[in-house]
Structures are given as structure tokens and as C-alpha cells.
């Protein structure tokens, strides 16, 4: 026998038994997004490499070392999207979605980053992302945060902490940069290789370093917050006061700079201690320059993305109760007339009750069919043989209750099930 081909490291199948959680998560999130009037957009998974280089930033981990980039048959350089914001902005400009209008959009799907796989960090992972355009006040930043807080409430997750910061404008960051570079240059011997490299290319990224040896230096570095202009400060204070009034707890984290270069002013992350090193389950912020940078008319923007795998792990770890996706009824049938009649009965029951009914296709003895029925998680098994069809009745077996099997006239089956299913 040949060795079977295995999945790529860091890329996982999401198996049917995990679907309960995925379904719950996606249903809850999308219903919250709808209740805030966000509209869905679907973008391609592959884009021109240049799109990500120009938006995420040349000197970022993603662009420097994590992109799945390849040449297609025409010799064009393409990249599997490492995130959704860049594609969404491109799609909006290209399709005239944000010209002189306000937009609230969301998308969902896989993203690809060639990171070192570990718990909570994958090479293919799923995000639900939200992007808003044309609203420049802190009100929309607050809406994004309130909406994410509502998502946690709906999911039954209550140990998430909100970190916020302001990165100011690009001019403010440029001024701050000189202070930061001076400080870091004074400590150059204590910097790790990555940070030394970034000192000249993208010094703000040093603040994002996770290297434990760097933490002390970073802690004592000058703070961007102390170099913000009045407009940025006012924006940040505006956000904080809405959050205060809405009773949303937050921590101002001056070191929160994010791993992508497009942010301006507000940035935020929702983090948990319970996932180890990969504790950020939602991250985002404002990116007021990006639309113009990609060739659109100047349009302010803000958004966030949820990491679905991390949220699923949290739901599982917290034993959050999620609705069953098991069938309610399992229909066992044996014999030619029973099979023909059984399929029609199941159609009628679906019409009447719109419930999950699994029909035993593929034959097998009643014994093995009932074993499958039990394993399926169904509440009831309907048992139909040729004799039952001839006599005009059907067996009802209670799989989760201590009740004797019943024989019910087929003409009364719907009413009978109505009583059983509502009890």
C-alpha cells in the first residue's frame, strides 16, 4: 500500500465532531454583525503580492517571512492572503463601494501565514473580519468595541481583557521615532538581532518584540502616547469616555503597536491569559491612510478581525454549552417497500417540523441500524419494515428515555410526534 499524502504542517482539517462549536460561533457572530447593520463581502483568497507589501508594510514579520508567495503561470507574483483588510480595501476601491459613502462590511474565511505552528498559531487559520469606511470620529471605534463585547457576551466568554492604545498620525509617529531611535541606540548592545535590524528600518516594531530579554528595555522606552498631538489625544479621550459610559473595562497599553503597519490612532486587542502565548482573540484599529495609499480618495477607516480557532479553543476549554447538531429522529428501515415509503415519510416530517432527520440509507439489519441510531445522538428512532408498511403503522423507539417502544398508525404519526417533540 502506498503511504497516504498528509496535510501540510500548520494546516488543519476541521472535522465534523468540531462542527458544533464552529456552527455556534459563526451563528452568534453573524447574528451580532447583522444587528449592527454590517453587510457581507467576499474577496478572493489570492491577491497580487504587491497589495500586501504596500499595505501591511515591507518591514513586518508577515511580509518579511510569513507570506505564501508564488509565481503563477503568467509569471505574476501572487500571495495567499495573510489577512483580509488589504483585500477588502482593494475591493472597495475597485468596486466604488466607499466613494462618498459610509460602509460597514464583514467577511469570513481562511488566511495564510507561514509562522512556526504551535497551539493557537496555524499556517492556515480562519478570521471573521469587520471593516468600516467613511467615519472618522471615535464613535465608530467605540461601536466596534461594543460590538465585540456583545459577541463575547453572546458566546458566554467572560474572561477577556480589552487593551487599547493610540498610535497617533504618521507625522506624530515620525517625530516619536527619533526619540525612540535615540533611546534604543543608547541600549544597542542589549537589543536582539531582530531589533537591531529594525532600529533603522522600522523601530516601532521593536516595541512589539515578544523576546523576554527585550521586555525591560521596552518597558522603559519613551512612550508614543506622550508625543501625540491634540487631535489624536482628543480622539483617544473621546473613545475612552464612550467606553467608560458604556461600562466597558479597558487597559491602556502604551506598548500595543500591532504587527501591521497600516494603523493610525486607535488600536485595540482583546486578550486572554488562558491560551498561553497566543492569547489575542480579536485585534484591530483605525487605518485612516490606507485607502488613499492604495489609490482611493482619502477615506477614514477602522476594523478588527476575530481569530476563530482561538475562540473555538476558548469555547471548548470553558465548556460553553452549544446547541446540538445531532439528528432528532433516526429512521431505520428494512425491506424494499419500507425503504421507498420511509424516504417519503421523512420528507413529510421535514415539511411539517423542519427538524434534523437522518435516514438509514445503505441497508443493514435492524440491530445494526439501531446501533447507528443510538450513536447518531437522535432522540427517537422510527422503525419501519415491510410488515409495518403493510399494516399501516411504524415503530417509535425512545433512545434517550426509559419508555417502551410504541407502534403508531402512520396516519397519526405527525400528530404523535408533535406531542412527543414538544414535551
- Piece of the chain touching ligand HAM by CB under 6 A; list 193-201, 245-253, 280-288, 394-402: 280-288
Contact flag: residue 122 with ligand HAM (CB under 6 A): yes
Query: Is the distance from CB of 254 to CB of 168 less than 8 angstroms?
Result: no
Among 109, 222, 254, 259, contact with ligand HAM (rule: CB under 6 A): 259
The nearest distance, CB 136 to ligand HAM, in angstroms, is 15
Site for ligand HAM in 30-59 (CB under 6 A): none
Please identify, using beta-carbon distances, which residue of 168 and 342 lies nearer to ligand HAM. 168
- Piece of the chain touching ligand HAM by CB under 6 A; list 40-48, 175-183, 221-229, 275-283: 275-283
Query: Is the distance from CB of 309 to CB of 111 less than 8 angstroms?
Result: no
With contacts defined by CB under 6 A, how many residues of the chain interact with ligand HAM?
Answer: 26
- Piece of the chain touching ligand HAM by CB under 6 A; list 165-173, 225-233, 278-286, 333-341: 278-286
Say how far apart CA 29 and CA 18 lie, in whole Å.
17
DSSP assignment of 341-369 equals HHHHHHHHHHHHH---EEE-TT---HHHH
Say how far apart CA 130 and CA 40 lie, in whole Å.
9
| CB contact set of 297 (below 8 Å; sequence gap of 6+) | 99, 291
Query: Closest CB to ligand HAM belongs to which residue?
Result: 307
Site for ligand HAM in 308-337 (CB under 6 A): 309-310
- Piece of the chain touching ligand HAM by CB under 6 A; list 71-79, 194-202, 249-257, 276-284: 276-284
- Piece of the chain touching ligand HAM by CB under 6 A; list 73-81, 122-130, 209-217, 402-410: 122-130
The pairing of strands 161-166 and 251-252 is: parallel
Please identify, using beta-carbon distances, which residue of 286 and 379 lies nearer to ligand HAM. 286
Contact flag: residue 304 with ligand HAM (CB under 6 A): yes
Contact flag: residue 307 with ligand HAM (CB under 6 A): yes
Among 85, 209, 360, 369, contact with ligand HAM (rule: CB under 6 A): 85
The nearest distance, CB 149 to ligand HAM, in angstroms, is 16
Contact flag: residue 268 with ligand HAM (CB under 6 A): no
Contact flag: residue 303 with ligand HAM (CB under 6 A): yes
C-alpha to C-alpha distances, 238 to 15, 137, 227, 322, nearest whole angstrom:
44, 8, 18, 37
Cα-based angle 94, 96, 97 (whole degrees, multiple of 5):
110
Say how far apart CA 257 and CA 288 lie, in whole Å.
16
Say how far apart CA 393 and CA 192 lie, in whole Å.
78
| CB contact set of 292 (below 8 Å; sequence gap of 6+) | 298, 299
- Piece of the chain touching ligand HAM by CB under 6 A; list 69-77, 243-251, 298-306, 355-363: 298-306
The pairing of strands 357-359 and 124-133 is: unpaired
Please identify, using beta-carbon distances, which residue of 121 and 223 lies nearer to ligand HAM. 121
Contact flag: residue 134 with ligand HAM (CB under 6 A): no
Among 55, 280, 369, 376, contact with ligand HAM (rule: CB under 6 A): 280
Contact flag: residue 227 with ligand HAM (CB under 6 A): no
Please identify, using beta-carbon distances, which residue of 138 and 307 lies nearer to ligand HAM. 307
Cell reading at 68: 505564501
- Residue 181 backbone dihedrals phi, psi, to 5 degrees: -65, -40
Helix (H) or strand (E) holding 409: strand 406-409
Tell me which long-range contacts 188-193 makes (C-beta under 8 A, separation of at least 24): 190/214, 190/217, 191/217
Query: Is the distance from CB of 291 to CB of 299 less than 8 angstroms?
Result: yes
Residues that bind ligand HAM (CB under 6 A): 83-85, 113, 115, 120-122, 125, 127, 129, 131, 259-260, 280-285, 303-305, 307, 309-310
Amino acid at each position: 500500500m502506498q503511504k497516504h499524502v498528509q496535510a501540510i504542517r500548520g494546516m488543519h482539517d476541521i472535522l465534523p465532531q468540531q462542527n458544533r462549536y464552529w456552527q455556534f460561533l459563526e451563528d452568534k457572530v453573524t447574528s451580532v454583525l447583522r444587528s449592527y447593520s454590517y453587510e457581507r463581502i467576499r474577496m478572493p483568497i489570492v491577491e497580487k503580492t504587491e497589495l500586501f507589501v504596500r499595505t501591511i508594510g515591507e518591514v513586518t514579520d508577515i511580509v518579511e517571512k510569513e507570506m505564501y508567495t508564488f509565481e503563477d503561470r503568467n509569471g505574476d507574483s501572487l500571495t495567499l492572503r495573510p489577512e483580509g483588510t488589504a483585500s477588502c480595501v482593494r475591493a472597495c476601491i475597485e468596486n466604488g463601494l466607499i466613494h462618498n459613502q459610509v460602509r460597514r462590511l464583514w467577511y469570513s474565511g481562511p488566511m495564510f501565514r507561514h509562522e512556526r505552528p504551535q497551539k493557537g498559531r496555524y499556517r492556515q487559520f480562519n478570521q471573521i473580519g469587520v471593516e468600516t469606511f467613511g467615519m472618522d470620529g471615535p464613535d465608530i471605534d467605540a461601536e466596534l468595541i461594543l460590538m465585540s463585547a456583545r459577541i463575547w457576551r453572546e458566546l458566554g466568554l467572560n474572561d477577556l481583557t480589552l487593551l487599547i492604545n493610540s498610535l497617533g498620525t504618521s507625522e506624530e509617529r515620525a517625530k516619536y521615532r527619533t526619540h525612540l531611535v535615540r533611546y534604543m541606540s543608547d541600549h544597542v548592545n542589549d537589543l536582539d538581532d531582530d531589533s537591531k535590524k529594525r532600529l533603522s528600518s522600522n523601530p516601532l516594531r521593536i516595541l512589539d518584540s515578544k523576546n523576554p530579554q527585550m521586555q525591560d528595555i521596552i518597558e522603559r522606552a519613551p512612550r508614543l502616547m506622550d508625543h501625540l498631538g491634540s487631535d489624536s489625544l482628543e480622539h483617544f479621550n473621546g473613545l475612552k469616555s464612550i467606553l467608560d459610559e458604556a461600562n466597558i473595562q479597558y487597559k491602556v497599553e502604551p506598548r500595543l503597536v500591532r504587527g501591521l503597519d497600516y494603523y493610525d490612532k486607535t488600536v485595540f486587542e482583546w486578550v486572554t491569559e488562558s491560551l498561553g502565548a497566543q492569547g489575542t482573540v480579536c485585534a484591530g484599529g483605525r487605518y485612516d491612510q490606507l485607502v488613499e495609499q492604495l489609490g482611493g480618495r482619502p477615506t477614514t477607516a477602522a476594523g478588527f478581525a476575530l481569530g476563530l480557532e482561538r475562540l473555538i479553543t476558548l469555547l471548548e476549554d470553558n465548556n460553553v454549552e452549544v446547541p446540538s447538531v445531532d439528528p432528532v429522529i433516526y429512521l431505520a428501515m428494512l425491506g424494499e417497500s419500507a425503504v421507498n415509503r420511509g424516504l417519503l415519510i421523512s420528507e413529510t416530517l421535514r415539511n411539517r417540523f423542519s427538524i434534523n432527520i437522518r435516514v438509514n440509507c445503505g441497508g443493514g439489519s435492524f440491530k445494526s441500524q439501531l446501533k447507528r441510531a443510538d450513536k447518531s445522538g437522535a432522540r427517537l428512532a422510527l422503525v419501519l419494515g415491510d410488515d409495518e408498511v403493510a399494516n399501516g403503522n411504524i415503530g417509535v423507539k425512545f433512545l434517550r428515555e426509559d419508555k417502551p417502544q410504541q407502534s403508531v398508525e402512520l396516519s397519526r404519526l405527525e400528530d404523535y410526534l408533535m406531542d412527543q417533540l414538544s414535551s
